[in-house]
Each structure stands twice: as C-alpha cells, then as structure tokens.
Amino acid sequence: MIRSELIQKIADENPHLYQRDVERIVNTIFEEIIEAMARGDRVELRGFGAFSVKKRDARTGRNPRTGEAVEVEEKHVPFFKTGKLLRDRLNDS
C-alpha cells in the first residue's frame, strides 16, 4: 500500500471527512514521525511497532569491483521493530 492508497481508504471509510483533510492528517502523522526520528527520538505505535534510529559506527569497507579499502563514515539509519499484535496477526496466532 502506498500513501495515496492509504489516504483513499481512510477517506472512503470516513465519508464525513474531505479527502484533502484526510491527506493533511496523514501527511502530518508522517511528518511528525520523521521529525521525531530526526531528533533521535523513538516513536512507538502500540500494537503496530516502534520506529527508532540506530547508529552505525565508521568502518573500513571494500569496493566490490576493485577490492580497494574504502572508509565508510558513521551514519544513522532508521529501524523498525514490529509490535506483538502485528507479529501475531502476520503469523495467525
């Protein structure tokens, strides 16, 4: 499912809301999650999962073509851990 499909589904299930309002709500939710993660905060949606940021230390990597050593800088990567309810639904428990 992509963002526009999510917006359309929510708008269809809530006919009292205008589609532009639903779009604004969905965009605001995503923006808040992104901003919180940019600050290094953890975002938990009970039953669904938790978004967090993990730090990867600087390291020496290898260029796969030449085998030459390459310095890879420290970086922060997004991480998602599923919640128990989501895991149970996926595994039909």
CATH number of 3-87: 4.10.520.10
Helix (H, G, I), strand (E, B) or coil at 6: helix
- Give tens-digit pLDDT for 15-35: 999 999 999 999 999 999 999
- Domains in the chain: boundaries: 3-87
Q: Is 65 exposed, middle or buried (0-12, 13-18, 19+ CB in 10 A)?
A: exposed
Smallest Cα–Cα separation from 49: which of 84, 92, 89, 78? Answer: 84
* pTM for the whole structure: 0.79
Q: Does residue 66 surpass a pLDDT of 70?
A: yes
Confidence at 1, pLDDT banded by 50, 70, 90: very high
Question: What mean pLDDT, rounded, does the chain reach?
Answer: 95
Are 26 and 7 a contacting pair, CB within 8 Å?
Answer: yes
* Cα–Cα distances in angstroms (integers) from residue 10 to residues 17, 33, 56, in the given order: 9, 19, 37
